Amino acid sequence: MKTVLKALFLLALTPLASSAQKSLVQYVKPIIGTAKMGHTFPGATVPFGAVQLSPDTDTIPYSVGGKYNPDVYKYCSGYQYSDKTIVGFSHTHFSGTGHSDLGDFLIMPTVGPVQLNPGTADHPENGYRSRFNHANEQAEANYYKVKLDEKNILAELTTSTRVGFHRYTFPKADDAHIIFDLTAGIYNYEDKNVWTVVRVVNDTLITGFRQTTGWARTRTVYFAMAFSKPFKSYGSRNGEQNQVYRGFWRKFNQTENFPDLAGRKLRMHFDFSTAGAEQVQVKFAISPVSMRNALQNMQQEVPHWNFDRVRQEGQNLWENELNKIIVDVPTREDKINFYTAMYHAALMPTVYMDVNGEYKGLDQEVHQAKGFTNYTSFSLWDTFRAFHPYLNLINPSRNADMVASMMAHYQQSALPMLPIWSHYANDNWCMSGYHSVSVVADAILKGVYKGDAMAALEACVKTANSRNYEGIGHYIDKGYLPSEYSGTSVSNTLEYAYDDWCIAQLAKKLGKTDVYNTFIKRAGNWKNVYDPGIGFMRPKMADGSFKKDFDVLKTDGQGFIEGNAWNFSLYVPHDPEGMMTLMGGKARLERYLDSLFSMHLPDEFFAHTEDITREGIIGNYVHGNEPAHHVAYLYNIVGQPRKTQEKIRMILKNQYHNGPDGLGGNDDCGQMSAWYIFSSLGFYPVAPASDEYWLGSPAIKSALIQLGNGKTLRVQAINQSVKNVHVKKVMFNGKVVEDYKLKFPDLIQGGELTYYMSK
């Protein structure tokens, strides 16, 4: 809080103070996202909170008739803006992922006859779901409110780190209920629920757990649920129809007022009589370890029943987070976009340990986090690019804890490997590369991670030498991944080469010359999949020949993941000058970039790739997917920085808007938003694990950045306007920046960064 007050004091002495607001939370719009792709997370959470409490709007199954159901992709975050009904409010969600899981512990208030099925979107009256209207919906940081039209109930949600807090205002009724659905989830399918246990401790307290399989193969979440008012009765239904052995529990009637329940498909109802406008509140705590810990989390974080206090405390946490960068921007829309981006960049990864420091490790054993906060849900294929470098500047202690979490993951791994996509004491192995090494190396090289650097290097090397993981053995032996062994052979080769360069930089820092020599050689493997005959990266066969059936525009079946050859051929962030030389020099690369942004990519070329939509494409440049996020900055090395400046400002306006369709692609756990933040400030980390940031064109008028080390960086754009997108001159601490690059050791010391803008 002292650094925030210091920032506000400094602002009072500058022109920026005229636009500084007492509250920055007002500019956060959680409903901004990708409406068509369904990755919006509109509910309540605190920064990096374990509980992400949000409405789910349908029950789309993962498969229909044994085949993947493409409609389920719209529900990666559980909420689809175009839907007219809400099924209920669940406690765990991903933010902007292209695959999904979670949606644990769905709660829904209702009145009337007990209905323990969700009903359908067309006929919500046949179940416990309800119609709603966006006019009666309010979403802000750590608060969500909606009127459930079907039963005339007002639902309000807020959270602490590990506790979801519900407040339901009921009409007068003798048949009010709170439905508790333990079968509900996101990306659901038959047999996803492995087992569920519920214990009714008394008439206000319930505990239990649920184990699922899926994207996370073995995932167990424990809970404790408390009601502000005693329920008068309760009941349950186990929807399992094909259980062969039922044991002798059949001696009991387990459907009514039975306190010891277990099964795979449990749904429950808790019954109340309510006066008109009576509020019934629910506190719901989760734990990765035990029911006892879940209850302790609740008792320590929210020991009272003051909903508004929890809401305010959470919003205070958001104020602290947002005050790390205070901006003056041309329009209110720009301010909403900026602070919503900061909000998105503080949703994930999530805290994955209890208030007592215990968490479940990758070995499924209970561990004690000593000296760090343990996190989960690392979407590393996305977030290594800008999200983790962003934390290294404004939130280094948190990123240090994330690296410590990755090291704990490695130590508990049976393989052993650093995480690929960490997920609730699992690795779901999603996407390509081993980009945790980028995050680890970058944090050590920038002095953020203070742990055992030699142990970290060993973890990076072992991960990169895991021969049986996604063709790494073939990559080591041949210098590329042959097409016969992988459908994404080219993108894997390119990503491995970059990661190997990161390892080389860390080895160089630590004086490990042998490791450096090995991995700097491997870092050049990207050249092995470049076909000079066509001027693009191309799949190569095991015999050394290039794949004959190849289309540079298609995004599937061509050796790349979520991108085509036009975008991925530019993915050599660690050696862009070498790439430029191999491609034919500055003039050739400039023509390539011009064509990329100006050509038209017909829908047919990405029709079978659900992560790419028309909204995220400019020409053939796919901003909605991450591999091209550095591309606009490449004009700097061809001697055309004005084109970088034009493209950056164009992308900022084209791909980021207010409203439910405000992002051109799924946010991917903060990466899209971190790109926006960096690019709005005028610089970007093209190659994490280097000490360079490449300059673009700032969209802010001015900004005061708290660097996380007690120092501040003030950014100013003189003569800023919509038309003045070009940068005539850049000054850093009174010296002209000559090469369109800033160095981390200089930047982290703070000072004044001034852009002089021009038409």
581-603 pLDDT, tens digit each? 999 999 999 999 999 999 999 99
| Amino acid letter, residue 32 | I
Q: Is residue 197 part of a domain?
A: yes
- When pLDDT is cut at 50, 70 and 90, the band that residue 6 belongs to is very low
If you average pLDDT over residues 433-455, what whole number do you get?
98
pLDDT at 3: 41
With 90 as the cut, is the pLDDT of residue 36 above it?
no
C-beta separation of 549 from 500 below 8 A? no
Q: Is residue 630 part of a domain?
A: no
Q: Is residue 631 part of a domain?
A: no
Q: Is residue 639 part of a domain?
A: no
Structural domain containing residue 241:
35-319
Q: 742-749 contacts: CB < 8 A, separation 24 or more? A: 742/683, 742/692, 742/693, 742/695, 743/691, 743/692, 743/693, 744/446, 744/691, 744/692, 744/693, 745/691, 747/393, 747/693, 747/713, 748/393, 748/446, 748/707, 748/709, 748/711, 749/711
Quote the number of domains for the chain: 1
Closest CA to 39 of 671, 675, 677, 667: 667
C-beta separation of 184 from 59 below 8 A? yes
Q: Is residue 410 part of a domain?
A: no
- When pLDDT is cut at 50, 70 and 90, the band that residue 238 belongs to is very high
- How high is the mean pLDDT of the chain? 94
With 70 as the cut, is the pLDDT of residue 351 above it?
yes
Quote the tokens at residue 148: 């459930």
| CA dist., res. 549 & res. 554, Å (int) | 11
pLDDT at 22: 62
pLDDT at 144: 98
Q: Name 208's bridge partners.
A: 198, 223
With 80 as the cut, is the pLDDT of residue 9 above it?
no
Q: Is residue 248 part of a domain?
A: yes
**What do you get for the CA distance between the two ends of the chain, in Å?**
40
Summarize pLDDT for 293-333 with one digit per residue, the tens.
Answer: 999 999 999 999 999 999 999 999 999 999 999 999 999 99
Which residue bears the tokens 């017909």? 602
Q: Is residue 72 part of a domain?
A: yes
Task: Please tell me which residue, 222 or 247, carries the higher pLDDT value.
Answer: 222
CATH number of the domain that 275 lies in? 2.70.98.10
pLDDT at 196: 97
Task: Please tell me which residue, 37 or 170, carries the higher pLDDT value.
Answer: 170
Summarize pLDDT for 90-106 with one digit per residue, the tens.
Answer: 999 999 898 999 999 99
Name which of 8-17, 556-565, 622-631 the model is least confident about: 8-17
pLDDT at 609: 86
Q: Is residue 23 part of a domain?
A: no
What separation in angstroms does the CA of 343 have from each of 26, 76, 487?
A: 11, 19, 36
| CA dist., res. 540 & res. 577, Å (int) | 23
pTM across the whole model: 0.95
Q: In the 8-state DSSP scheme, what is residue 656? A: B
Name which of 36-40, 432-436, 524-528 the model is least confident about: 36-40
What is the SS3 assignment for 167?
strand
- When pLDDT is cut at 50, 70 and 90, the band that residue 41 belongs to is confident
